[in-house]
Amino acid sequence: MQSPLFAYTEQQTQDRYAVQNPQLLRVALTGQDDVLARKGAMVAYQGLIDFDGEYQSQSQRRSRAHTGEGLELMRCSGQGTVYLANLAQYIHVVDVDHDGMTVDSVYVLALDSTLHTEVIAVDSQYGISGSGKYQLNISGRGKVALMTSGQPLMMQVTPEKYVNADADAVVAWSSGLRVQMQAQTHSSGVMRRRGNTGEGWELSFLGQGYALVQPSEVMPPQHAVIGQGLGAQYGVGQQGAHGQNQNNVWSR
């Protein structure tokens, strides 16, 4: 049997995480450190690999119930190779260091079990709940595999050069950055402010670090909610900028 398909063979590498192709992640397990992966993300594996639903403490379950933010994880352990993917999204491996990373959990494919995750609230300076107010903070030292819809843009933020981005296109940012969100209180306000451009909520990043932006304002289909009218048009549905904006500016 012959076919160009035989060119898509397994990557030979000693790296623990390897991007097999832009939409498929290969993770090597040696029986020592486990990997936590999004439930249902395994597409193939070799060797003696065990998959278990990741235990969550009572506080973690309570936090997820109240915020809706969090990761549904499975623990991958044993010796062998596991291949992970999700809806053919593009995969990027990031080294997390002491600076930490803030990300929406919908964009996380896998991470080292040694990393610490915590749901954080991004509150309004006026004390009013805001759009996207819950995010996932990842700290410690290790690797995280992120997903994007299309090839992303990594933008550097410096004290002299801050970055603005559409709130629905932002994937992650350095935890040390200060974040502000410019928004209107309702959809008609977005129309008045932006006219017929279709633009509305935006994030401003200030400080020293990076912001990762994807070329899409739509979250992955398994979390998307099909809205109607203005909510769908301006990304202010339940998943558009998390769709619960009630304030003009929030900061962390």
Instruction: Report the distance separating Cα 92 and Cα 19, nearest Å.
Output: 8
Which residues are 87's β-sheet partners?
Answer: none
- pLDDT at 67 (0 to 100): 57
Tokens of 225: 């909610």
Q: How far apart are the first and last CA of the chain?
A: 58
Residue found by looking up tokens 């803030």 in the block? 102
The dihedral region occupied by 123, where left means phi > 0, alpha psi between -120 and 50, and beta the remainder, is beta
Closest listed residue to residue 118, CA positions, set 60, 195, 58, 37: 60
pLDDT at 232: 38
pLDDT of residue 117: 87
Closest CA to 217 of 85, 72, 104, 101: 104
pLDDT score at 244: 39
- In this prediction, residue 147 carries a pLDDT of 95
pLDDT, mean of each 10-residue run, the chain (252 residues): 83 87 94 90 94 69 61 89 95 91 90 87 45 75 94 94 88 90 54 49 87 81 44 40 40 45
Question: What pLDDT does 60 receive?
Answer: 61
pLDDT at residue 94 in the model: 94
